[in-house]
Amino acid sequence: MSDFRQKRDGGGGTIGGVIGDFDSRYRAVSSRDERFDGWFIVAVTSTGIYCRPSCPAVTPKRKNVRFYPTAGAAQYAGFRACKRCLPDAVPGSPEWDVRADAAARAMRLISDGVVDREGVSGLAGRLGYTERHLHRLLVAELGAGPLALARTRRAHTARLLLESTGLPITQVAFAAGFSSIRQFNETVRAVFAATPGELRRAGRRGGVSEGMERGEIHLRLPYREPLDIGGLLDFLGARAVPGIESYEGGVYRRTLRLPHGAGTVALSAGEGRIRCVLRLEDLRDLGAAVQRCRRLLDLDADPVAVDGAFAADPILGPLVAGRPGLRTPGGTDAEELAARAVLGQQVSVAGARTLAGRLVRNCGDGLPVSLQDPAETLTHLFPEPAAIAEAGPDQSGLPGARHETLVSLAGSLERGEVLLDPGADRDEARRRLLSLRGIGPWTASYVAMRALGEPDAFLPTDLGVRRALARLGHPGNPRGVEALAERWRPWRSYAVQHLWKSLGGAPKEKEARREETVA
């Protein structure tokens, strides 16, 4: 047994609120507990197959079981995916969102497709490591190197394309990021023990290829129960910017700026899954688009762990009981969210939408004709930082000081002085944001919470937070509120969402941001 297996199988890490040793994981497998899907992978030496913990197959003997942190690690060790439980089609591990170390940052970047686009050298450069050191680190932490982890991502993207589109198999191969048909065929057979054609036939029997004739890709995004999807979509709908977003009839739609081109997505509640309908200018962007939609809806979170941490709290306990599974809305583009945070300073939600809509009309690129639908209201992509940096006050509609803040932020993003990609160092990003004139602690924390997926961001100066606490019998100044919230670590972002929801509506950003300084 390798050093990695000895460490993981007998180690004492925490998984989903229980001790992550061999016995605890084996009990989870024996009980087919769906809460642990995505947290770890179970591989069976007697069959050469790896599964999700909740796989309905007969529980394997203890002596034949191996545990891995990712599907990529199981594949790297020579196991193939179970055809029955489809272990690649589960929510991602919440561990990579909670952790801020290099391994977690690397996982977020790999999931976004950085290795496919920039190679291992690009990934290593973003993290500040040599390729050799990064490989050693990931093998030690995750059981597989960056190429093996990226290979798993490509295989998953290929399966989605085979099952949900009518593309010729050769086009699927290159759209999924493979460099040759031979490599594609070998990987699919190794991972799924099936040919690409067999995967396609199985997908069509499942009825997931609807909408192909309209250029649509219909997917079902998994998540961990419970999920307050209504609250999520209402939050996003209340802030929908004309031209790039719409919300009607329970369906949230928006445009996407992706690495190889533009796209649109429609998201709505389904039975145990999120309905996701994508239209892409370049199919190579499928993996990145799916991952960004998951970040937008916080679908990889562990609501059982979060709600359990708050259940006994005298303030948050009743709120959690009334709204289980509340998530922190994220974003599909961190740079867009940062710009919108500045646009919304000292104005209401409606005012922020108006200002953002004006900026979109004046500086945003038009949506490609191939993605336009006469019945839709989606017409533009949100402006890139370079376009915002060149905008005049008449184009943003902002007063002088805040316009300078917006332009300064956009310039810093364009020059790479502020990094907000999925692998960004959150502490460094916050420090760089606070160094910009006009950006204070509220905006920096809001960006960390929504744009960077920080689960432990808190807004002690937020008027919505303070009003909610006052209603619950805990008034106080920001310093007192911050001290009170220490007991909610490491889930303070979720505490903010519960406090906002307790007010019965969207927080009033005009009041929430009043304390932001422009000095």
Of 231, 223, 458, 234, the residue nearest 322 (C-alpha) = 231
AA letter at 252: Y
Active site residue 51: yes
d(C-alpha 486, C-alpha 458), whole Å: 10
- Phi, psi dihedrals of residue 265, rounded to the nearest 5°: -140, 145
- Which one of the listed residues 51, 55, 82, 293 is annotated catalytic? 51
Q: Which H or E element spans position 247?
A: strand 245-248
- Phi, psi dihedrals of residue 20, rounded to the nearest 5°: -90, 45
d(C-alpha 236, C-alpha 269), whole Å: 14
d(C-alpha 192, C-alpha 203), whole Å: 13
- Which one of the listed residues 88, 97, 298, 462 is annotated catalytic? 462
Cβ neighbours for 52, distance < 8 A, ≥ 6 positions apart: 37, 38, 41, 42, 82, 85, 86, 87, 90
387 and 380 Cβ atoms separated by less than 8 Å: no
d(C-alpha 430, C-alpha 428), whole Å: 5
CB atoms within 10 A of CB 461: 21
Active site residue 276: no
Longest dimension (CA), the chain: 70
Structure-token pair, residue 509: 């950003």
Secondary structure (3-state) at 387: helix
Residue positions annotated with a catalytic role = 51, 462
